[in-house]
Amino acid sequence: MNILILSAGTRNKIVQYFKKEVGDSGKVVATDMSELAPAIYDADKYYIVPAMTDKGYISKILEICEMEKINGVISLIDPELSLLAQHEEDFKKVGTTVVGSNLALCDMSLDKFAMYKWLKEHHYNCAKSYVNRDDFYKDLDCGAGCFPVFVKPVCGSASIAISKVDDRETIDLLFNHSDNLMIQEYLKGQEIGADVYIDMISGEVISIFTKKKIKMRAGETDKSVGFKDEKLFALIEKIVSEAGYRGQIDIDIFDNDGEYYISEVNPRFGGGYPHAYESGANHMKYIINNLNGIVNTPEIGAYEDGKYMMKYNEVKII
């Protein structure tokens, strides 16, 4: 079993977990566009590749898949998910399975306003969002909206360029200097992260791990505590099954006075996934089973709650 991890960056733990689960049955290969991406040095082998926007990028990745006899390929960054899904058939031709959701879902998940519209159309609680600031101002003037709000890129990732805004002047300043922004209602409740695995063969939700976020850093969960709630599990099962996601996904949720609001869905491993793995939610095992043609048995909530995760800095010297 050979796994290829694209855009490995600083996700050392993801590489380490795959290596542990693959064991002696294969190898884990990693790529990045920088030799200073520390996670590539935890893989059995690594390749330095062009930027994903480069015309020859996919050809290079397919070449690596052929050379290394890769069974499954995953990416750890949002913009690359749609690119992999778009070329799913090309990967199949070289014997490689793209571990992830289809192109339409990857595109919708990256486009935060499209995700918002889908959630509204399917009657899920979510943060009210606007791409037209005048629509927000109308709601503000009639009491249907209020400050503070978040202003963020419609197609953003890793909390880059997100601003918490308290007045019209700042909104105008941001919109006048940037394109493709959206305004999103500020949810004040407890932020929750869910690491979910949906079987790629059966389409059934196999595992859900939920954690209350205590502290964030650079868009990722820095400190968290695991917990269980059957009501939340049922909500997550309903959403991911109705949408049709496959493989690994990460969901951002808010608990607003006992009601769960969906913020974002990211069809990849989230930065807080190590908390799930170390608590017993082994999604690497599920991926390897699927790549071997084995349908996984659901193990929802099969983890020890009350465990805390605390990230800290490590150093890689090469």
By C-alpha distance, which of 122, 128, 126, 134 is closest to 150?
Answer: 128
Measured distance CA(222)–CA(224) in Å, rounded: 7
Q: What is the pTM of this model?
A: 0.95
Q: Which domains occur in the chain, in start order?
A: 2-98 (3.40.50.20), 128-185 (3.30.1490.20), 189-310 (3.30.470.20)
pLDDT at 159: 59
By C-alpha distance, which of 302, 292, 82, 304 is closest to 200?
Answer: 292
Q: Cα-Cα-Cα-Cα dihedral of 178, 184, 189, 191, to 10°?
A: -60
Asked whether 49 and 31 are in contact (CB, 8 A), the reply is: yes
**What confidence tens digit (pLDDT) does each residue in 163-188 have?**
999 999 999 999 999 999 999 999 98
pLDDT at 294: 98
What average pLDDT score do residues 56-78 get? 97
Helices (H) and strands (E) in the chain, counts: 11, 15
157 pLDDT higher than 70:
no
Measured distance CA(46)–CA(82) in Å, rounded: 23
- The first and second tokens of residue 190, run together, are 């407890």
Measured distance CA(201)–CA(230) in Å, rounded: 25
pLDDT at 188: 87
**What confidence tens digit (pLDDT) does each residue in 126-155 have?**
999 999 999 999 999 999 999 999 999 999
275 pLDDT higher than 80:
yes
